Amino acid sequence: MAARDIAVSDTRHPFGTLAERGWSLHCTEGADADATMSELGKLGDRLGTRVAGRAGSIGEVIEPHGADDAHPRSLSARYGLDALPFHTELSHRTRPCRYLLLGCIDPGSPEAATMLLDWQTLSLSSEELDLLEGTPVLVRSGRRSFYSTILAPGGAFLRYDPGCLEPVDQRGRIALELIENRIAGASSEAHHWREGDILIIDNWRVLHGRSPSDRGSGRRLARILIDA
């Protein structure tokens, strides 16, 4: 997979590239946790309604964890400090959140990039889109597990998370292998964090992941999730 760095920061129109590219980079003054979370809230409230993440918090500060001390249902529990694979935030919900807002409190040292990939650039044929939209897969979420498809009806969003999606038959295996292989060969973008950076991601369009990190790097990102 090839990746290019995100180099453009647009502080005048934080939502401008969101519609055009599926993400927007915004910069703010003050990088302590409270200031960053406050700014995320202001931006998020313009987009929709805040919703809780897996840990049940409306707003949270996230940092890299080893597999041994990560939340048991998180991707970190499976991948630890290795690269976190591309995924859709809250894939375990029947309707993943629309927007994901991340703000940099501390980029850490060494810094770990956030990787972005627009699924609409995966060059999926009409037959492949039909396969992703019409093939049931199991979404593991404990007692709330349910059947769904990788692609929502009409292509509204792509649901992908290797931590909670499982095939239920051979057609499901083919669908998951298709999207995994297409993601592995895709060209993505890498955002290298600086204090005060805020990244607004259209979670229905852009998958995100993380480059490898080190234990104790100090990397801390504020995060809120938005339904719209």
More confident residue, 207 or 77: 207
What is d(CA 223, CA 44) in angstroms, rounded to the nearest whole number? Answer: 10
CA 11, 12, 15: angle at the middle one, nearest 5?
85
Higher-pLDDT residue of 194, 5: 194
> Contact at 8 Å (CB) between 71 and 77?
yes
pLDDT (0 to 100) of residue 1: 60
Provide the pLDDT confidence category of residue 110 given band limits of 50, 70 and 90. Answer: very high
For residue range 54-83, list pLDDT tens digits in order: 778 899 999 998 888 877 778 888 888 999
Question: How many Cβ atoms from other residues are within 10 Å of residue 55's Cβ?
Answer: 10
Contact (CB, 8 A) for 50 and 209: no
Q: Where are the beta strands (DSSP E) in the chain?
A: 2-5, 23-27, 49-51, 59-62, 84-87, 99-106, 114-118, 136-139, 146-149, 165-167, 187-191, 197-202, 206-210, 220-227
Q: What is the dihedral of CA 107, 112, 117, 122, to 10 degrees?
A: 170
What is the DSSP secondary-structure string of 157-203?
-B---TTTEEESSHHHHHHHHHHHHHHHTSEEEEEPP-TTEEEEEET
pLDDT tens digits for 149-205? Answer: 999 999 999 999 999 999 999 999 999 999 999 999 999 999 999 999 999 999 999
**pLDDT tens track for 124-147:** 999 999 999 999 999 999 899 999
Using an 8 Å Cβ cutoff, are 220 and 120 in contact? no
Q: Which residue has the tokens 């990088």?
A: 31
The model scores a pTM over 0.85: yes
Q: What are the helix and strand counts (H, E) for the chain? A: 5, 14
In degrees and rounded to multiples of 5, residue 87 shows phi and psi of: -160, 165
For residue 53, the model assigns a pLDDT of 87
